[in-house]
């Protein structure tokens, strides 16, 4: 097996933003790219089924500036996934990722997400089919285990059997949310909070599969934590922290990629995003679907709450133009 095939210049990108339904749409990704030239940005999960029937551009269109950007797919039929991966590669995505970590009931009834960890051969077959179909890397995002599961025995043996079979199918990059998924018993939100984080299990995988790269995910919140984890892992993935405090991406690019880089001011990010918003409004995207993504930008800064309130209230008051973003800057400037 060759070394990790993800991503730029043969190296794993150190910081990734997690796939998050209802968050990581094209607008959020564009906004995040204004904050970090390097972070790998994932789409929301898009089902292979949706891409089979609907106009794919509706789901897959994105802006050139978003690169590097990875398409996350949900599904469990190898042929459908291969078709979806082909579309993703055609649209220009830099990586195709298969979701084997989402615990929601809706996803389980479609027989994909975390419950696929119980079907490693199906996942391996899907990975093979996708790899045969596209030249870009095919990666897998999973948990450290599922509960309940059949078969008894050791949890780590279950996990390493899963990883081993998928690696043998040609996947060399695994994003691992370092918690088990409790299927049936907990809501998706609880499943991101209650099962304990076990980073050591992912470190053990990294040791046992030195030819693969493991990207650590789950509960990572600060620049210091990222630095520490990058001593042991090729990459880390952050989800909720980026939604609440997107500016951390600029701090991370400077801290772990390019110390000589000057982070953009928040104000310049808003100005650049306002131009983007204007272009998308002309294509019919609603203003609020774009302004909602910036609300965390001033997290922890003076007048952050008034700024958020201004944007939320004006956005709901029939304001239709990007000027609202520029106007909002008066509030934070006054601080």
Ligand X SMILES: Cc1cc2nc3c(=O)[nH]c(=O)nc-3n(C[C@H](O)[C@H](O)[C@H](O)COP(=O)(O)O)c2cc1C
- In the chain, where does DSSP find H-type helix? 26-35, 48-53, 56-60, 78-91, 105-109, 120-133, 155-168, 199-208, 223-232, 240-244, 248-252, 266-282, 288-291, 304-316, 323-334
Residue 177 or 274 having the CB closest to ligand X: 177
Residue 173 or 324 having the CB closest to ligand X: 173
Instruction: Give one DSSP letter per residue of 209-220, joined into a string.
Output: -TTSEEEEESS-
The CB-nearest residue to ligand X is: 239
Task: Write the burial class of residue 235 (CB in 10 Å: 0-12 exposed, 13-18 middle, 19+ buried).
Answer: buried
Binding footprint of ligand X on the chain (CB under 6 A)? 18-23, 44-45, 72, 99, 101-102, 141, 177, 192, 217-220, 238-241
102 is catalytic: yes
Residue 68 or 239 having the CB closest to ligand X: 239
Task: Write the burial class of residue 211 (CB in 10 Å: 0-12 exposed, 13-18 middle, 19+ buried).
Answer: exposed
Rounded Cα distance between 257 and 56, Å, is 34
Task: Please state the closest distance from residue 282 (CB atom) to ligand X, in A.
Answer: 29
Q: Which of 100, 102, 171, 212 is catalytic?
A: 102
Residue 22 or 150 having the CB closest to ligand X: 22
Rounded Cα distance between 80 and 122, Å, is 13
Residue 143 or 274 having the CB closest to ligand X: 143
Cβ neighbours around 293 below 10 Å, total: 20
- Say which residues have a Cβ less than 8 Å from residue 279's Cβ, sequence separation at least 6: none
Task: Please state the closest distance from residue 184 (CB atom) to ligand X, in A.
Answer: 18
Task: Please state the closest distance from residue 277 (CB atom) to ligand X, in A.
Answer: 22
Catalytic residues: 102
């Amino acid at each position: 097996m060759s070394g990790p095939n993800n991503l730029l210049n043969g190296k794993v990108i150190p910081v990734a933003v997690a796939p998050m339904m209802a968050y990581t749409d094209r607008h959020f990704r564009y906004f995040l790219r204004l904050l970090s030239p390097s972070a790998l940005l994932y789409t929301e999960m898009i089902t292979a089924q949706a891409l089979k029937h609907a106009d794919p551009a509706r789901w897959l269109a994105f802006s050139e500036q978003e690169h590097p950007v990875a398409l996350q797919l949900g599904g469990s039929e190898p042929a459908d996934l291969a078709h979806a991966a082909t579309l993703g590669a055609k649209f220009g995505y830099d990586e195709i990722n298969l979701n084997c970590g989402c615990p929601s009931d809706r996803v389980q009834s479609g027989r994909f997400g975390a419950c696929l960890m119980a079907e490693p051969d199906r996942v391996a077959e899907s990975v093979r089919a996708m790899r045969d179909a596209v030249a870009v890397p095919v990666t897998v995002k999973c948990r450290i285990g599922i509960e309940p599961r059949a078969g008894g025995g050791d949890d780590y043996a279950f996990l390493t059997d899963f990883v081993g079979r998928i690696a043998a199918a040609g996947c060399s990059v695994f994003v691992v949310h370092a918690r088990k998924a409790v299927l049936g018993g907990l809501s998706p939100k609880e499943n991101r909070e209650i099962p304990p984080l076990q980073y050591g299990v992912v470190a053990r995988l990294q040791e046992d599969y030195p030819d693969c790269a493991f990207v650590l995910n789950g509960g990572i919140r600060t620049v210091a934590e990222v630095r520490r984890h990058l001593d042991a892992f090729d990459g880390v993935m952050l989800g909720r922290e980026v939604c609440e405090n997107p500016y951390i991406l600029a701090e991370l690019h400077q801290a772990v990629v390019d110390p000589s880089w000057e982070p953009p001011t928040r104000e310049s990010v808003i100005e650049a995003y306002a131009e983007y918003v204007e272009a998308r409004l002309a294509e019919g995207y609603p203003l609020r679907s774009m302004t909602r993504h910036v609300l965390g930008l001033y997290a922890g800064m003076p007048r952050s709450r008034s700024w958020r309130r201004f944007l939320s209230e004006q956005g709901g008051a029939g304001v239709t133009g990007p000027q609202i973003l520029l106007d909002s800057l008066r509030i934070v400037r006054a601080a």
